[in-house]
Structure formats: C-alpha cells, structure tokens
Amino acid sequence: MTKTKRIGILTAGGDSPGLNAAIRGVGKTALGFYGMEIIGFRDGFRGLVTDRRLRLDRNVLAGILTVGGTILGTSRDKPHRMKIDGRSRDMTGVIVKNYAKYGLDALVCLGGGGTQKNALRLSEAGLNIISIPKTIDNDVAMTDSSIGFATALDIATETIDRLHSTAHSHHRIVVAEIMGHRAGWLALGAGIAGGADVILIPEIPYHVDKIVEAIRRRSRHGTNFSIVAVAEGAMGVEDARAFAAAENRKEKARNPHERNEAKLELAALDARHAGNTLRLAKTLEELTHLESRVTILGYVQRGGTPSPADRLLATRFGSACADLIHENVFGVMVASRGNGTEPVPLVKVAGKRKTVPPNHSWVETARRVGTCLGD
C-alpha cells in the first residue's frame, strides 16, 4: 500500500497579497488531486521549531483565495540565527528533527529573497524543500514575476493617479515614495503606468540638477506641477558611489575585522539615507520655487485583497508545487515562465537579486515618452 505523502507549508518574510491564494493552490491540488496531507506551520520557520501547526483541510482552505496577508502568519526568523530566550541560536538541527517527527515528505517555503536562502540551507541539511517566490518588489531572481507584485503595482499606480489632481490644482511638486529598497521595478512600473514626470530608482543614481531642469522645463511649457515617483532605495550619485565603495570593501575584506568595519560603514550609510525622500522634496522646492508635498505609500502597498493577476499567479504556483512534490522534484523554486512555470534549482536563486537592467524595455519606454530618470 502506497504511503500518503504529508506536506508542510509555511510563509516567511514580509506579508504579501496572494499568499493565501498560494496556500490554497498547494492545498487543494495536494488534497483533492493527489490525496496528500498538508500541515501549516505558524509564523514562518519559528512555527516549525516551536511546534505551532495546524492541519490544512478543505474547511480551512475554503474562502481564503481573496483574503490578504497569510492565515499562517509570518516572521523574518532565520533557521540558522533565531532568537530563542533572548539569544541567537542555530535551530537548523531542531527543524531537521521536527521534520522527521511530524513525518513530513516535503516542506514548502513561501517567501522572498531571504526565504530562498533559508530554503537552500534546509535543502542542504537533507530536507525535501520546494519554495514559491513572493515579494512586492519583484526582485526574486530567476522568475518572471513574484506573488504580490501585481497587486502592489495596482495600488501604487492608483495612488499616483489620485495625486495628479492635487498636484495640478495647487501647482505643486508631489513626491510619491514607493517601496523598493534595492530594486526599482515597482516605482518604475507604477511611474510609467501613472504618468509620473520623474521616476527615480536604485539602479539609476540621480543628479538633482537633472530633476530640477526637467521640472523647470515643464514650467516653461506652461505646466506648473510635477509628479515624482521615487523608490525608497533611490539615491543621488554621490551616495551611490559611497555605498558601492563600502560594498566593494566588504567583498574584498581579508579578515573578519575588515568585513565588520565595512558592515558598520554600510549600516551608517543606510541610517543616513533614511528620510532621503523628504530631503529631496525640500531641495526641489528650494530650487524650483514650487511648493512640494510628500506621500509615502508604505505598507498600504502590501495590504488588502490580491488582484486577479496575483490570485492567478499564486494558484498556478501552488498547483505546480504540488505537481513537483508528486514527481519527487525537490531543492527547487517554482518560477514563472511566460504563461507557465518551471522548477529552478535553489542554488541558482539564493543570494541573488533581480534588479532593473539599465537597458530594460521599461526604462527605454520611460525615456521615449519624456520621463526624467535623473541621469
């Protein structure tokens, strides 16, 4: 008699629209199509350590397709560096033991770049792991898209649409800060779709004088307002050089002391960068003599009902994940490829980031319609 496969599933990292749709996709395919069992672990990897779990049956999965967030809860805990009783401990061994204790045949990890690295570590520890990419930043490597990006793009675009009214009515510069610390997909996509006049992303360091000139040019043509879409990680040329130099020193460090010094320098640069959007708006106001206002979208981009595109992507991911488990394909991430999916080895994903190439078609499109990118 064939043993019924038992799957564990968890969501880790930041929350994202579409996580519940993915849980449902895995669960309904595993339960209904393959006759598997599925156990959900609460609050990411910590639930697997502390025995916080629930059985995911048809009743639990019912009605969650359109619900934002994750019914399992999430956390940013790392298996190899988890706070237990006030100190950081490597709990990888505990996770391996509990995986066997619960009789799991596979563990599904839904998350962003950090989760892909943690999934690889557990795979290398001998567990059957499959991951599913989610992040509103769309920066997980080796996949066309990630769960949450489409919804966040809709929200950010709608915000820019609404900001046009107040910018036009009051002859203002309105600066909209959009999420994207290391990758500018969200700001770039929303900026183009929302008709922003200036788009600033981390991949293209900006010159303030170029932005000022673009705004003044609009004024000379009789348009006394501008919309600036700025990714939270966008920075001026000088700051970008400082970050690049510190990153380079960290990579070339010959000993732990040098590496730690570089890390401290990067932390100081990060702290200095905080509030950059507010400073930029003030500078633009001083140089253009146009009133400026700042809107920081923040976590609203992660919230609410997932868009139809995200529900579709998440369901496809979840169903494909169950197929791979049935086929005993492990150590992979389910990646989006065109209208389909394909398994990509975690070793090709972990530690990598998908950033906007300078010659990407979206960048070229923005330039052709006259959008200033600050370079």
Question: Which of 5, 363, 7, 355 lies closest to 191 in space, CA to CA?
Answer: 363
The tokens of 301 are what? 């981009």
Query: Catalytic pick from 43, 77, 137, 197?
Result: 137
Question: What is the 3-state secondary structure of the chain?
Answer: CCCCCEEEEEECCCCCCCHHHHHHHHHHHHHHHCCCEEEEECCCHHHHHHCCEEECCHHHHCCCCCCCCCCCCCCCCECCEEEECCEEECCHHHHHHHHHHCCCCEEEEEECHHHHHHHHHHHHCCCCEEEEEECCCCCECCCCCCECHHHHHHHHHHHHHHHHHHHHHHCCEEEEEECCCCCCHHHHHHHHHCCCCEEECCCCCECHHHHHHHHHHHHHCCCCCEEEEEECCCCEHHHHHHHHHHHHHHHCCCCHHHHHHHHHHHHHHHHHHCCHHHHHHHHHHHHHCCCEEEEECHHHHHCCCCCHHHHHHHHHHHHHHHHHHHCCCCCEEEEEECCEEEEEEHHHCCCCECCCCCCCHHHHHHHHCCCECCC
Measured N-to-C along each axis, helices 185-193 and 361-368 cross at an angle, to the nearest 10 degrees, of 40
Q: Could you confirm whether 137 is annotated as catalytic?
A: yes
Cα of 62 vs its chain's centroid, Å: 26
Phi–psi pair at 161, nearest 5 degrees: -55, -45
Question: Which of 202, 195, 206 lies closest to 159 in space, CA to CA?
Answer: 195
Residues 137, 186 contacting (CB under 8 angstroms): yes
Residues identified as active-site: 137
